Amino acid sequence: MVGIVMFIAALALLAIGYPVAFTFGSVSIFFGVIAALVELLPDPSLGAVTDEFLQMFSMMPFRIYSIMNNTILMAVPLFIYMGIILQKSNLAERLLEAMGTLFGKIRGGVAVSTVLVGTLLAASTGVVGASVVAMGVISLPVMLKYGYSKRLATGTICAAGTLGQIIPPSIVLIILGDVFQQPVGDLFQAAVGPGLVLVVCYIVYILILALLDKNVAPAMPPQEGGKFVNIQKALMAIVPPLTLIVMVLGSIFAGIATPTESAAVGCVGAMVLAALYRRLSLQIVEEAALETVKISAMVFAILIGATAFSMVFVYSGADYIVEDALTNLPGQKWTFLALSMLAIMLLGFFIDFIEISYIVVPILLPIADIIGLNPLWFAILIAMNLQTSFLTPPFGFSLFYLKGVCPPEVSTIDIYRGVIPFIFIQVVVLLSIIVFPGLYGFE
């Protein structure tokens, strides 16, 4: 009960417009007091409640410290820094423009290119925030410059940036591997198909939308010179930054760097590349670093606020209520699947994917086992579902992260509306995995 009230309170307070990170924190403080009070019923003296409450919040330094020494999260500033260097040196813009030019008169080229670049980035990081922000920095200005609708542009970036969760490597899959007691490698392999299908569906959607409405995603303006010259020019612009991204990926595959470290390779690579194009200056390095500091701090402030939020959620016993509700799920395959997917999607509004993975999934597992569901298949369904939770308004983290790097004329509402079609696509692909597991290589 406290959990649901917490959710509604957070929603109302967020709407006021004070920074998200601290609003989360304040909601958790308020409900922390209530939880302490409830814990001490029937005789809650003021002193005892205060003690209980302070005891609860004395957990915060431990949680913050865990965030600090979680080296996988270093990917966030590193990726953002790479993205901003590429953007400030105009290399990203030229990459996307050139890719867009290759589409000729076909509309939607830059958005499709964004999805493709997002796919490549997704293959080199599994941290939410890292790729969303990098994509936001790289491609939002370009799409807005060429007259794309704000909704399509932001929706595309959120969706493409969140692909990192389903396309390996991915933190979601690593955690599910732990919960499902399945080797991470197997999960990674199983996720490739669904991830790519998602990419294709995004692209098809963008192309169809652009075909139907000529204002949402205009074609690149025609350039002088013959078609051949254009293609040559385009390739010239595409190759270097693309090489960089491939280098980042390559450093993982060749065993040079771990996925997190590969982002640092990318940063140095981006600087070298910018220098080669004579676009690197001390000023760019400095400005990019400062922006990275601010954006990373924005991302981590949200994580710290959210960790206070989930701490109180767990402390108030809300997780046990969820457990009780789920333990009684029915044993027929389709009802079970429908209800469990729905439950996870709903919980995605409240709590982060780590909590869902560890609190909810273990309850579902024994039932899934009895029904005889293929664990890999079930894990991928959950992963897709959790990935969607990063996109769902109002609390989807991707939305906040993108908002944090948007120019002021793009509002939260634009982003909320922009992702809705992509959420539909996610749901459709999810359903297709449920109905046609064979297509994705599941038994």
Partner 1 sequence: KVRWKLAMSWSSTLTPLAAAAPKLADMVSKMSGGNFEIRVEGAEKHKAALGILDMVKGGQYEMGHSASYYWKGKDISSVFFTTVPFGMTSNEQYAWFYYGDGQTLQDKAFEKFDVLSYPGGNTGVQMGGWFKKEIASVDDLKGLKMRIPGVAGEIFAKLGVAVTNIPPGELYTSLDRGTIDALEWVGPGMDIKMGFHKIAPYYYTGWHEPGAEMHYLINKKAFEQLSPEYQAILTTAIKAVTADQTAMNFDANARAWAQIKAEYPDIKIMSFPPAVLKEMKKANDEVMSDYAAKDPLFKEIWENQKAYMADVREWTRMSDYLYIKTVEALQE
Partner 2 sequence: MLIRVERFYDRLSRWLGKGLSFVLLLMTLNVFYDVIMRYTFHNSSVGMQEMEWHLFSVVILFGMSVALIEEGHVRVDFLYDRYKPKNKAIINIIGTIFFLLPLALLIFFGSFDFVRDAWEIGEISEDPGGLRYRWIIKGMIPIAFGVLIFSAVGYTVKNINLYRFHKDGGSVPSTTDGGAQ
Residue 290 binds which entry of partner 1, Na ion, partner 2, none, with Cβ cut-offs from 5 to 8 Å by kind? Answer: partner 2
Residue whose structure tokens are 């669904």: 194
Told to check if 181 binds partner 1 by CB under 8 A, we report yes
Residues 269-298 touching partner 2, rule: CB under 8 A, are 285-286, 289-298
Which tokens sit at 189?
Answer: 């392999």
Burial 161-200 (b: 16+ CB within 10 A, else e): bbbbbbbbbbbbbbbbbebbebebeebbebbeebbebbbe
253 versus 424: smaller Cβ distance to partner 1: 253
Cβ at position 30, least distance to partner 2 in Å: 9
Stretch 97-136: interaction string toward partner 1, x if CB under 8 A = ----------------------------------------
Radius of gyration of the chain (CA): 23
Told to check if 283 binds partner 1 by CB under 8 A, we report no
**How close are the terminal C-alpha atoms of the chain, in Å?**
40
Stretch that binds partner 1, among 29-37, 147-155, 171-179, 379-387 (CB under 8 A): 171-179
16 versus 435: smaller Cβ distance to partner 2: 16
Residues 233-252 touching partner 1, rule: CB under 8 A, are 252
Told to check if 164 binds Na ion by CB under 5 A, we report yes
Cβ at position 145, least distance to partner 2 in Å: 14
Distance CA 153, CA 359 (A): 35
Distance CA 275, CA 255 (A): 26
What DSSP line would sit under 216-254, residue for residue? TSPPPPP-SS-HHHHHHHHHHHHHHHHHHHHHHHHHHHT
Phi, psi of 221 (to 5 degrees): -60, 140
The binder of partner 2 chosen from 36, 49, 78, 110 (CB under 8 A) = 78
Residue 154 binds which entry of Na ion, partner 2, partner 1, none, with Cβ cut-offs from 5 to 8 Å by kind? Answer: none
Told to check if 20 binds Na ion by CB under 5 A, we report no
**Number of neighbours of residue 49 by Cβ within 10 angstroms:** 18
Stretch 237-256: interaction string toward partner 2, x if CB under 8 A = --------------x---xx
What is the DSSP-derived secondary structure letter of residue 356?
A: I
Residues 344-363 touching Na ion, rule: CB under 5 A, are none
Q: CA 443 → CA 168, 432, 436, 440, distances in Å? A: 21, 14, 10, 9
Phi, psi of 437 (to 5 degrees): -60, -30
The binder of partner 1 chosen from 18, 178, 204, 325 (CB under 8 A) = 178
Told to check if 200 binds partner 2 by CB under 8 A, we report no
Residue 275 binds which entry of partner 2, partner 1, Na ion, none, with Cβ cut-offs from 5 to 8 Å by kind? Answer: none
Q: 325: Cβ–Cβ under 8 A, 6 or more apart, which residues?
A: 343
Give the closest residue to 56 by CA, choosing from 282, 315, 277: 315
Residue 292 binds which entry of partner 2, Na ion, partner 1, none, with Cβ cut-offs from 5 to 8 Å by kind? Answer: partner 2
Q: 314: Cβ–Cβ under 8 A, 6 or more apart, which residues?
A: 355, 359
Residues 19-38 touching partner 2, rule: CB under 8 A, are 19-23, 25-26, 28-29
Q: CA 1 → CA 8, 23, 35, distances in Å? A: 11, 20, 11
Residues 102-141 touching Na ion, rule: CB under 5 A, are 122, 126
The binder of partner 1 chosen from 2, 63, 197, 246 (CB under 8 A) = 63
Distance of CA 29 to the CA centre of its chain: 27
Distance CA 10, CA 15 (A): 8
Residue 297 binds which entry of Na ion, partner 2, partner 1, none, with Cβ cut-offs from 5 to 8 Å by kind? Answer: partner 2
The binder of Na ion chosen from 10, 92, 167, 382 (CB under 5 A) = 167
Interface residue list for Na ion (CB under 5 A): 122, 126, 164, 167, 170
Residues near partner 1, by CB under 8 A: 55, 58-59, 62-63, 65-66, 70-72, 169, 171, 174-175, 177-179, 181-186, 188, 252-260, 307, 314, 319, 354-355, 357-359, 362
